[in-house]
Chain A
């Protein structure tokens, strides 16, 4: 049994190995984020963090709670499919605190963002050459923005 004579060396080596492995596992437990691997090879808590970001656009459902008269007008007209904030801009702050009143819109510059004539646009989409059509007058002189068709009684 002469080959097992100096087994003490092996045990000391093995002890060193165990200490090494243990320290690696301890460092791993400290360094790796708690939720890493919860759903996959990433930090599961990141999903919650991203979902918690603040919203800027309240969504038309929030507008419709209070502005029922305008929603009724809009839904009867050509702009039924256009959501409030598409023209009025991000208004989550106004939805949270109605005392924050948004600025009035300028129809002379707003409407042409969609309705300026261009041969590149789909043919069925209503388009005008603003200077020829209104001579620079704001669109709301004739059209009611929430129900713009004049024939449908939308004229002012």
Chain B
């Protein structure tokens, strides 16, 4: 083959560009789970939460969450006439072992389970300098553990405080919405173990999901709506004092 220098100069860069897509290969097929059929969120029914901490313990067991860190936690609010704007909020050990009992019912008490809101316009994924955290095609905010540098930009960017740096792995971790469970047709560990049904996994793309009827008939809000994060943790009867 008579390859002139001119064509060689054109062919080499062209081959280098093509090699990139050759190596990428064809995307693997997932036989049982189609990502584009789902758009995951969570419904949290505040009047049902009893503050038992079962969700926190289940999350820790399912996801090997290190001691002192939380992918979900429960806060107890105490709102009285004097502190309407700044209510007393406690979360002893993330509410993992429940809450100290209250004898007298002065003011208003309620429990608020917190977790990653799996925002569709998430501030945490936007700041990642290496593309290690992302919103998956089915609406779950995930961290690629092998790609994360542990710079903690995302920890600072999350308006809900839902991320931490794993002290052993030195990479960012967060609620995965039990991605390894929901892709197998199971519910999340926290939903599976909530004894009162205060937490419900919701698939917003599934027209038969009870979330749609619930959203139409209940007063449902998200946390920090003013930040326009597109949060998908929907709170039923959320008190105005919750931050």
Contacts and interface: CB of A to CB of B under 8 A. Distances in A.
Interface of A: 15, 18, 21-22, 25-26, 28-29, 32-44, 46-57, 59-61, 81-83, 85-87, 89-90, 113-114, 116-122, 125
Given A51-B179, A56-B189, A119-B109, A46 B184 contact: no
B147 A83 contact: no
A42 B181 CA distance: 22
Contacts of B145: 46, 49
Contacts of A29: 16, 19-20, 23
A124 to B, nearest CB: 9
Contact of B61 (A25, A34, A47, A56): A56
Contact of A90 (B61, B134, B179): B61
B24 A38 contact: yes
Interface of B: 9, 12-13, 16-17, 19-20, 23-25, 27-28, 30, 33, 35, 47-54, 58, 61-62, 76, 78, 98-105, 109-111, 131-137, 142, 144-147, 176, 179-181, 183-184, 186-187, 189, 192-197
A126 to B, nearest CB: 10
A contacts with B: majority SS: loop
Contact of B131 (A36, A52, A120): A36
Given A47-B136, A113-B54, A57 B189 contact: yes
Given A41-B134, A122-B48, A116 B62 contact: no
Nearest to B46: A122
B192 A57 contact: yes
